[in-house]
Amino acid sequence: MVEEIKKNLYEIASKIEGLYGITFTDRDGVPLLKVTSESAPEPAIKPNFISTFCLAIDQGSKLGLGKTNTLICTYSQYQIVQMNKHPLVVTFVANQQCNLGQILALEAQIDPIASSLALTVTEI
Amino acid sequence: MENNLDRVMEEICLDPAVLGCLFADQQGLCIGSKGQASNETSGYITAIANQVAKLEPNSKMPVVTLENENQICMIQKADTITGAIYKKL
């Protein structure tokens, strides 16, 4: 099943120019599923970077705008999109020219994968 | 800030044949939409415009027309902005 999901994610990722990888992690940044190319920057897929997102969304919820769904960070060379799929976090790593709108539109395709992985996390 | 864009979109939608319009930035993020155009399609619209532009890199930006049995969608990129207009057939 994991191989099938990985294959599916590879197909999704290859359709977007400049997308280096998609990772599914838990809230501590522990990777559950990782589909990355060699060009993906190492620090962006490390647990300490991903777990910072959880801290950020906790702070974001204090702004009074409701639950944080997505966080987009734009750096000089890379763009990181993180989606809150409680209890999971989905991280997309892309280059500076990548089409963010296309990444955000992937949410509907990512949802079924996230919900099936979420079941395994809650079981553990 | 977006008053000018809102005004342009209103003018476009005054045409009875127009169902909706959408504008996206270089990164595929929606900067404005009106009518039947969905915000979520902004990424795909920008991607289509960018891919088609690669066919003739030395000519000016093409207008892409997608047509189905009852409506057409016209897409064109100008500088960093991509626009899409949905029309009835």
What is the overall mean pLDDT for chain A? 87
Q: Compute the nearest-CA separation of B15 from chain A (Å).
A: 28
Distance of CA B55 to the CA centre of its chain: 19
pLDDT score, position A100: 94
| pLDDT at residue A124, as a whole number | 58
Best probe of the B interface among A19, A102, A103, A109, by most B CBs < 10 A, is: A102
pLDDT in tens, B19-30: 999 999 999 999
Q: β-pairing, B30-35 with B63-67? A: unpaired
Residues 6+ apart with CB under 8 A from B64: B48, B49, B52, B74, B75, B76
Tell if the CB–CB gap between A102 and B29 is shorter than 8 Å: no
> What is the extent of the structural domain holding A12?
2-123
- Considering only CB atoms, A100 lies closest to which of B43, B44, B45, namely B43
- Per the structure, the count of domains in chain A is 1
Residue-level pLDDT at A123: 64
Domain with residue A60: its CATH number is 3.30.450.30
- For residue range B53-80, list pLDDT tens digits in order: 999 988 899 999 999 999 999 999 998 9
B3-88: CATH, from 3.90.1490.10, 3.20.20.70, 3.30.450.30, 3.60.15.10: 3.30.450.30
Domain ranges of chain B: 3-88
pLDDT tens string A19-66: 999 999 988 888 888 898 887 887 877 888 888 888 888 888 888 888
What ipTM describes this predicted complex? 0.80
